[in-house]
Structure 1
């Protein structure tokens, strides 16, 4: 009688910048609204991941993220960023792009080590700005990544809508070796490919490719269908007049 194979445990991993540094390319938005948007997109991203994986680990220096997740009914573990933080006179908002990338990738590598030490078989690292991400797309990507792993490619990645960046990186039983970031001449998708990762080519996962760096990106994400937390910034509520501010700003900036 064949011995049944142990079930493979899957964890999602997200590293988030401190809010003052988040979504710096949306500098056209008022600071408060930009930070709100970054937080809401992260919450929607984590919500989609939590429904498709066994657990989610978020690494960040955002001290109020845990209460925000709890308030939204999203299950995730939050831990402090173990990488060296900028000195007070040189805040995270003023880090160079390459410094920010190195910090992000170091945090992801640390989280990957922790998860694998706990017996996690599959680690899926994801950016935190996918407001339209759907649980079903995450499941499709995991299925495709498993097929690639069975074919000899234990690491695989999802390129963003531009084809240059990476939104998701999956590792089956091997170190994640993350190479995220857009601050170098070579895009992260190509860096991941050159490191031996295979591209995930499954279709109908545009929501998993559409990270938001500009207002035009956000408008496209709206067409794909954004999560409920980000939607709260767009749809005014009679009980919360401050909601809907982003929607009004998008209309004015057309």
Structure 2
């Protein structure tokens, strides 16, 4: 299909990922790493199952993450020497050299393939982004076919992407907009219906 998208998903090393969720797992590093990994695996699994997504590639320097992604049939590329999320995404986009690239955040454990598909279709070939549920962050950024991704992730990324010319996509896609950074986010994702791996890695207070 001409409109198929290749998605780049950045995943931090597990010791650096989701630091604001540390309290949710009682400060236990093993439980925290398992939860962070589960968030990414459920996100990527949903993306792989989405019609309109041709390929998913993760950007990570964590061997444990890369091994788990390989078990899903997903390739991982190491993080570039230049630090930062945007540099990692640009590295992935350059490596893939696809006709259409997208960046998907790795902390969407309730993601439903039909919602991601609907957002891809709503973009209608434009450079576009989906803001998070608060409206300030970005969960999905899409390049126009043949165009640059030009990621502006960080604090206030939704506004930065809008100012850079990307079209904001607002639809009935709660699972696509529910990124998980805090315990509150995790509870909201739980209410939407978590992926199997995250459900199995949940802290005791959620049960």
TM-score w.r.t. length of structure 1: 0.75
Task: Please provide the CA RMSD for this pair.
Answer: 1.6
Query: Would the aligned equivalents of 2:110 and 2:178 in 1 still touch at CA under 8 Å?
Result: yes
Distance 1:197 1:112 in 2: 17
Instruction: Give the counterpart of 1:170 among 127, 134, 142.
Output: 142
Query: Would the aligned equivalents of 2:77 and 2:92 in 1 still touch at CA under 8 Å?
Result: no
Instruction: Give the counterpart of 1:181 among 154, 158, 161.
Output: 154
Does residue 22 (structure 1) correspond to residue 17 (structure 2)? The answer is: yes
Distance 1:178 1:82 in 2: 15
Q: Specify the alignment match of 1:200 in structure 2.
A: 169
Query: Would the aligned equivalents of 1:83 and 1:103 in 2 still touch at CA under 8 Å?
Result: no
Query: What aligned pairs does 1:144-155 form with structure 2 within 5 A after superposition?
Result: 144-146=122-124, 149=125, 154-155=126-127
TM-score w.r.t. length of structure 2: 0.91
Report how far residue 19 of structure 1 moved: 1.0
Q: Specify the alignment match of 1:228 in structure 2.
A: 196
Query: Would the aligned equivalents of 1:12 and 1:50 in 2 still touch at CA under 8 Å?
Result: no
Q: Specify the alignment match of 2:2 in structure 1.
A: 7
Secondary structure in 2 matching 1:43: helix
Structure 1 residues not aligned, in runs of 5+: 1-5, 85-101, 235-245
What is the aligned residue count? 201
| 1:87-130: CA deviation from partner (whole Å, max 9, x where unpaired) | xxxxxxxxxxxxxxx611001011112222xxx22212011000
Distance 1:126 1:7 in 2: 20
Query: Would the aligned equivalents of 1:113 and 1:175 in 2 still touch at CA under 8 Å?
Result: no
Secondary structure in 1 matching 2:194: coil
Distance 2:121 2:205 in 1: 39
Distance 2:115 2:4 in 1: 18
Query: Would the aligned equivalents of 1:50 and 1:75 in 2 still touch at CA under 8 Å?
Result: no
Structure 2 residues not aligned, in runs of 5+: none
Q: Specify the alignment match of 1:48 in structure 2.
A: 46
Does residue 113 (structure 1) correspond to residue 111 (structure 2)? The answer is: no
| 1:119-172: CA deviation from partner (whole Å, max 9, x where unpaired) | x222120110000001111110110012xx3xxxx3100000111110100112
Report how far residue 7 of structure 1 moved: 2.9
Distance 1:215 1:37 in 2: 12
Rg comparison, structure with higher value: 1
Q: Which has the higher contact order (CA 8 A, sep 6+)?
A: 2
> For structure 1, which segment, 137-146 or 7-16, has the greater mean C-alpha deviation from structure 2 after superposition?
7-16
Secondary structure in 1 matching 2:86: helix
Distance 1:105 1:113 in 2: 12
Q: Specify the alignment match of 2:75 in structure 1.
A: 77
